[in-house]
């Protein structure tokens, strides 16, 4: 597997990468082995690896991107216990809605009786986001870029 070295600068700054996402839907999967997932993504799906490390990888396929994170990177994330205790890895999927206001989504979710795992907050990876479960247990993460305070 090879990484796209031209995009290396983008992935060295988590906040800049986070702000570059969206609008649109994004996937973030928790995986037990990032290298094994990279092998699968390339060999089976024909994906391009944009960035790879033992903790975090980014892929491109047909104009879309998705990310994976190793379990260890999620130890403080609200999905960690849900994902690691569920049978099968699908519980570790996040459906990311870039460009969707997380404060509005949190308010609407609470009003509608859905489960808010994490209220809207600014994250160090450049996004303000919330984590909300739908009726089927899918974790939706609406998020918007945090405006650079210096620029």
Q: What are 99-140's pLDDT values in tens digits?
A: 889 998 999 999 999 889 999 999 998 999 999 887 667 788
The answer to whether residue 72 is domain-embedded is: yes
> Per residue in 21-43, pLDDT tens?
777 777 888 777 889 888 988 98
Residue 122 lies in a domain: yes
What pLDDT, on a 0 to 100 scale, did the predictor assign at position 5? Answer: 36
Distance between terminal CA atoms of the chain? 37
Alpha-carbon distance 132 to 56, whole Å? 22
pLDDT digits (tens, 9 = 90+) for 63-86: 888 888 887 776 676 666 666 666
Per the structure, the count of domains in the chain is 1
The size of the chain, in residues, is 151
Q: How many CB atoms lie within 10 A of CB 7?
A: 14
Cα separation, 131 vs 97, in Å, equals 11
Count the neighbouring beta carbons within 10 Å of the beta carbon of residue 85: 8
- In angstroms, what is the C-alpha Rg of the chain? 15
pTM: 0.59
Domain range for residue 12? 5-145
Give the CATH number, domain containing residue 52.
3.10.180.10
pLDDT of 2 higher than 60 = no
């Amino acid at each position: 597997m090879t990484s796209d070295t031209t995009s290396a600068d983008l992935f060295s700054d988590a906040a800049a990468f986070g702000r570059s996402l969206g609008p649109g839907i994004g996937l973030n999967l928790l995986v037990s082995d990032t290298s094994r997932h990279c092998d699968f993504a390339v060999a089976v799906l024909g994906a391009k690896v944009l960035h790879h490390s033992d903790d975090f990888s980014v892929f491109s396929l047909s104009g879309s991107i998705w990310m994976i994170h190793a379990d260890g990177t999620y130890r403080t994330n609200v999905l960690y216990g849900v994902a690691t205790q569920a049978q099968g890895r699908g519980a570790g999927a996040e459906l990311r809605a870039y460009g969707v206001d997380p404060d509005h989504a949190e308010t609407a979710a609470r009003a509608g009786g859905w489960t808010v795992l994490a209220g809207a907050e600014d994250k160090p990876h450049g996004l303000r986001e919330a984590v909300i479960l739908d009726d089927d247990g899918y974790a939706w993460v609406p998020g918007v870029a945090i405006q650079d305070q210096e620029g």
